[in-house]
Amino acid sequence: MAQKVTKIGVLTSGGDSPGMNAAIRAVVRTGIYHGLEVFGIMRGYQGMIEDDIFRMEGRSVANIIQRGGTILKTARCKEFFEPEGRKKAYENLKRRGIDGLVIIGGDGSFRGAVKFSNEFDIPCIGLAGTIDKDINGTDFTIGFDTAVNTAVEAIDKIRDTMDAHDRIFIIEVMGRDAGYIALHSGIATGAENILVPERKTNMDDIITSLLEKERRKKLVNLIVVAEGDEFGGATEVEKVLKKNLPNAEIRVCILGHIQRGGSPSCIDRLIASRMGYHAVESLMEGRHNVFVGILNNKMHYIPLETAVKNKGRISEEWMKIVKILAS
């Protein structure tokens, strides 16, 4: 029989994403409702090692559901990769009697949690907090919807000036290993081409397509590029296009970190709240090293070690839709 959890810690790790605060709020208030003591761990695993841990009450998470970023801060911690660092972290948890953890982050955070849990027998529950939507076992990740809507709003504004000047615009969005932000925002804004890391980029096809559009006097063209596209991002694409389309006006816009910030959308607040609630329930039910996701609008649980980044999952159907709608 699983040992009953009485004190839990919550932390955010890796890149920040809108909705993390909503998840923290849900963990804290659900824990307190069930009579648990809840501790906030600052700056992820770094704060666990440095003993930057504090008791949280219901009022600790008042007025944060609408805020982007994370009140617990976040950091990437190299020291946690070493056995000495994990031992130091465990001793800090043990001194407070913390016997369960909720980790809000990405697959790197989960790998660290699995290793830590196996060494010291502390149950860990993972919630996917990443704008990239690149984690197995869930339809959406906390922050993805907000990031996509931020990108769509920015691209819509750029389209106005693009149309006024008959320009080709290459817009780079975030997505080092996954192209979901590029795919969703590109389709939503009518992009003629969408370049993603999951698929091989054929610049010859893009040039041929743009030359054909140039002959048809279709001079306004939008290309959305994920930062991790194999061709090298928006700037590299621009170099090739300028060389092959000397008469075209081409501009580049890299949206960058505006996609990480801002008030989370309703969807991100809802899924973060739902996941945070079920994370605490999972600890109380004795689940050990589980990832909490949502598939087909139902809670979905998989082993934490299998909640890794998706690779190459953008389907042919999506790309066919892009091609047909952009013609």
User: Which of these, 36, 37, 40, lies nearest to 53 by C-alpha position?
Assistant: 40
Domain with CATH 3.40.50.450 in the chain: 7-143+264-306
Residue 327 predicted with pLDDT over 70: no
Using left for φ > 0, alpha for ψ between -120 and 50, and beta otherwise, residue 56 falls in beta
Catalytic entry in 132, 145, 229, 268: 132
Q: What is the mean pLDDT of the chain?
A: 91
In one letter, which amino acid is 58?
Answer: G
| Integer Cα distance of 148 and 152 in angstroms | 6
Alpha helix ranges (H) inside the chain: 20-33, 44-49, 83-96, 107-120, 144-165, 180-188, 203-215, 234-244, 266-284, 316-325
Query: Is the separation of the CB atoms in 7 and 36 below 8 Å?
Result: yes
| Integer Cα distance of 66 and 266 in angstroms | 9
pLDDT digits (tens, 9 = 90+) for 296-314: 999 999 988 888 766 557 7
Task: Tell me which of 65-69, 196-200, 209-213, 269-273 is least confident.
Answer: 209-213
Query: Is the separation of the CB atoms in 279 and 105 below 8 Å?
Result: no
Q: From 3.40.50.720, 2.40.30.110, 3.40.50.460, 3.80.10.10, which CATH number describes the 146-260 domain?
A: 3.40.50.460
Q: Which fold has domain 7-143+264-306?
A: Rossmann fold (3.40.50)
Per-residue pLDDT, 96: 96
Is 16 a catalytic site residue?
no
pTM of this structure: 0.92
- Which percentage of the chain shows pLDDT scores above 90? 63
Residue 267 predicted with pLDDT over 70: yes
Domain with CATH 3.40.50.460 in the chain: 146-260
**pLDDT band for position 220 (cuts 50, 70, 90):** confident
Residue 326 predicted with pLDDT over 80: no
Residue 3 predicted with pLDDT over 70: no
User: Which of these, 196, 221, 191, lies nearest to 207 by C-alpha position?
Assistant: 221
